[in-house]
Amino acid sequence: MAQTTAITDAINSLVDAENRFGFIRIEDEGFFPEWYEGLPALTETDKANLDVLRRRYLYHRGFGNLLEGTVMLLLVSPLLTLAGFYDPPFRIKAEESVDVVVDDSEEILRGRIDVLVLQERFWVMVLESKKTTLSVWSAVPQALAYLMANPNPNLPVFGMVTNGDDILFIKVVQAGKPQYDLSRVFAPFTSVRELYSVLKILKRFGQSILD
């Protein structure tokens, strides 16, 4: 019988993810163009909404570190709304249990992802908000493990990891040997223009998924 282990216990570093799944990072601009190429323009309404969103986030952040649920309410959910992920044909599943089978069913890694969008093609992970100061990089190994649960391994899958202050995007392709790459880190805490870029990327992901 397969042994079940929590993803948070089993995957704590990139070496863990690479050893268990055989991940290879592809540092080639042609592998993950969705975060910088062909990005849609934002409307003035989009920008105005993002300006309000950021002011609201900074107001609450000014009182100290924010918990995971607060980051979801103040930042992630409004971004997904503006990107159109709450509207047809997209479907949202919140706090979905995820199982990843490793090594020919000898081990099952189990965890809970914060948000799944449209048949698991885009997944959102908010850091277990022990503290907002936790680096988004620390969540990348576990995010890779979650993305391996994609039930459509022939299709690319995208992820967004955030602690509120910083946002990072991930792309995974499972066909053959699992491959991944990362976007740069976006820091809406420092500039509203960073938030503009994030919304453009989210809209681009939506287009890619529908295509």
Alpha helices per DSSP H over 83-179: 140-147
| 119, pLDDT greater than 70 | no
Q: What pLDDT, on a 0 to 100 scale, did the predictor assign at position 201? A: 97
**Confidence category of residue 109, pLDDT binned at 50, 70, 90:** low
What's the average model confidence in pLDDT over 194-198? 97
Cis peptide before 89 (omega within 30 of 0): yes
Residue keyed to tokens 């159109």: 84
Q: CB–CB of 164/61 below 8 Å?
A: yes
**For residue 151, what are the contacts with CB-CB under 8 A and spacing of at least 6?**
119, 120
Write down the pLDDT at residue 133: 52
Q: Which residues contact 80 (CB under 8 A, 6 or more apart)?
A: 86, 92, 115, 117, 124, 202
Q: What local confidence, expressed as pLDDT, does residue 130 receive?
A: 43
Q: What is the CATH number of domain 3-210?
A: 3.90.1570
Q: Please report the pLDDT score of residue 97 as a whole number.
A: 63
Confidence band of 131 (pLDDT split at 50, 70, 90): very low
Domain ranges of the chain: 3-210
CB atoms within 10 A of CB 153: 15
Percent of the chain with pLDDT over 70: 82
- Do 192 and 50 form a contact (C-beta atoms < 8 A)? yes
Q: Which residue has the tokens 């997944």?
A: 123
Residue 84's pLDDT is what? 92
Per-residue pLDDT band for 127 (boundaries 50, 70, 90) equals: low
